[in-house]
C-alpha cells in the first residue's frame, strides 16, 4: 500500500504513522495541509488517503477517484464530514477510527466538575487578583442527578466513572444496555432533562440527532442545570442555548464542541477575525466553558486513531474487511 496523509500533525501523529508503516510494511507521504481540489495532486500515485475532520465533497472524491484512490479513512470516530453517498457511488471504501473511551470520559468528568465549581470565573478573577468568594459558590457532584444521553462506549465509561462519585445517574438511549442497569435508571429524554442537575451528551452526530437539544428541550431542564457536550456540536441548537443562558434559566454549559467549528479548531487563528459570533458570545459568558474539541487528545487515543484508521486502509488494499469500515 502507498498511503498519502492529509492534515497530518508532525508533533504527534507522524511518529505513530512512521512506526506503523514499519510494522505493516507500507510507504507513505504526507502534508500538514488540508485536502482541496488545488492540492489534490499531492496524492498522485497513492492507493489510499488518510484524512482528518475536513469536508470530503463529491467534487473532491471524484478527483481522487480519477487519480486511482479507492480507499479513504478519517482519523476520527465521526465521519459525517465525508459524503458517503458519493463515495459509494464511486466505489471508494471508507473507514473511521476508534480509540479507548477513557480519554473523552475523563475530559467529560473534568468539564462537569469545572462547571459545577465555577472554575472559569474563579480562575479568571484570580488572574486579576480578585480572590473574593461572592458568586463562586459551587456544588458537589455527589449531590447531583446526572443525566447521560447516549450509552455507547464513551457514555458507558462516563457512567462507570460517575458511579464513584456517588451521584444519582439517569440514562437515555434507544438501545439500553443491560450491563448498566445496576448503575443507572433508563428513562426517556424528557424525564432525564426534567430531573437532572447535569446533562451530558454522548450521542452520535447523525442527521436524526441534529439539534436534539433545542428550545423545547432546554425549557424542560431544571433551572440552574449544567449542560455538557463533549460529543458533537450539531446535537445542540446554539442559538437556543445562548438564549437559555442569557435568560438565566440554564445555570451554565461546558462545551468541548459547538456548531460550525470547521476551519477553526486545530489551527492557529490568533491573527484572524473569526466569523463565528455564537462562539464569541459563549466564550464571553462567565458560566460557559468552551474548549477546542480536544476531549480525545491523549497519547493513547491519538495512537489508536492512527492505528485503527490506517489499519483499515491496509486491509482494504489487501482486499480484506475491517471492523472500522463505514457501511
Please give the Cα distance from 199 to 29 (Å, whole number).
43
Long-range contacts of 187-190, Cβ-Cβ distance < 8 Å, separation of 24 or more: 189/149, 189/217, 190/220
Q: Which residue carries 463529491 as its cell?
A: 58
195, 259, 261, 303: the active-site residue: 261
What are the φ and ψ backbone dihedral angles of 4, each rounded to 5 degrees?
-120, 130
Going by the DSSP 8-state scheme, the letter that residue 247 receives in this structure is: T
Annotated catalytic, 261?
yes
| 293 among known catalytic residues | yes
List strand residue ranges (DSSP E) for the chain, in order: 2-5, 27-30, 48-51, 71-74, 93-95, 145-149, 168-172, 185-186, 198-201, 226-229, 252-255, 288-290
Q: Which of 96, 293, 304, 307 is catalytic?
A: 293
Given the residues 75, 118, 202, 232, the one annotated as active site: 232
Separation CA 209–CA 137 (nearest Å): 34
C-alpha torsion sign, points 162, 166, 172, 173: positive
Q: Which residues are catalytic?
A: 232, 261, 293
Amino acid at each position: 500500500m502507498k498511503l498519502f496523509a492529509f492534515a497530518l500533525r508532525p508533533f504527534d501523529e507522524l511518529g505513530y504513522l512512521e512506526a506503523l508503516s514499519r510494522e505493516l510494511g507500507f510507504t507513505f507521504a504526507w502534508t500538514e495541509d488540508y485536502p482541496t481540489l488545488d492540492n489534490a495532486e499531492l496524492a498522485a500515485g497513492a492507493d489510499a488517503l488518510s484524512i482528518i475532520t475536513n469536508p470530503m465533497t463529491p467534487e473532491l472524491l471524484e478527483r481522487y477517484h480519477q487519480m486511482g484512490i479507492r480507499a479513504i479513512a478519517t482519523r476520527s470516530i465521526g465521519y459525517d464530514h465525508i459524503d458517503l453517498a458519493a463515495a459509494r457511488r464511486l466505489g471508494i471504501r471508507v473507514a473511521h477510527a476508534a480509540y479507548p473511551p477513557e480519554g473523552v470520559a475523563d475530559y467529560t468528568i473534568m468539564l462537569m466538575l469545572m462547571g459545577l465549581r465555577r472554575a472559569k470565573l474563579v480562575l479568571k478573577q484570580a488572574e486579576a487578583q480578585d480572590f473574593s468568594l461572592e458568586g463562586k459558590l459551587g456544588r458537589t457532584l455527589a449531590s447531583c442527578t446526572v443525566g447521560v444521553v447516549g450509552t455507547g462506549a464513551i457514555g458507558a465509561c462516563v457512567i462507570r466513572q460517575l458511579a464513584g462519585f456517588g451521584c444519582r445517574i439517569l440514562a437515555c438511549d434507544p438501545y439500553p444496555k443491560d450491563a448498566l442497569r445496576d448503575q443507572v435508571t433508563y428513562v426517556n429524554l424528557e424525564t432525564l432533562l426534567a430531573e437532572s442537575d447535569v446533562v451530558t451528551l454522548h450521542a452520535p452526530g447523525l442527521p436524526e440527532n441534529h439539534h436534539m437539544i433545542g428550545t423545547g428541550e432546554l425549557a424542560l431542564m431544571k433551572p440552574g442545570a449544567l449542560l455538557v457536550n463533549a460529543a458533537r456540536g450539531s446535537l445542540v441548537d446554539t442559538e437556543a442555548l445562548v438564549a437559555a443562558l442569557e435568560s438565566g434559566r440554564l445555570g451554565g454549559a461546558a462545551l468541548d464542541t459547538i456548531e460550525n467549528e470547521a476551519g477553526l479548531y486545530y489551527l492557529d487563528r490568533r491573527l484572524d477575525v473569526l466569523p463565528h459570533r455564537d462562539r464569541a458570545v459563549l466564550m464571553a459568558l462567565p458560566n460557559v466553558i468552551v474548549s477546542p474539541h480536544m476531549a480525545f487528545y491523549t497519547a493513547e487515543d491519538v495512537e489508536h486513531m492512527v492505528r485503527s484508521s490506517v489499519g483499515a486502509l491496509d486491509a482494504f488494499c489487501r482486499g480484506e474487511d475491517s471492523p472500522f469500515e463505514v457501511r
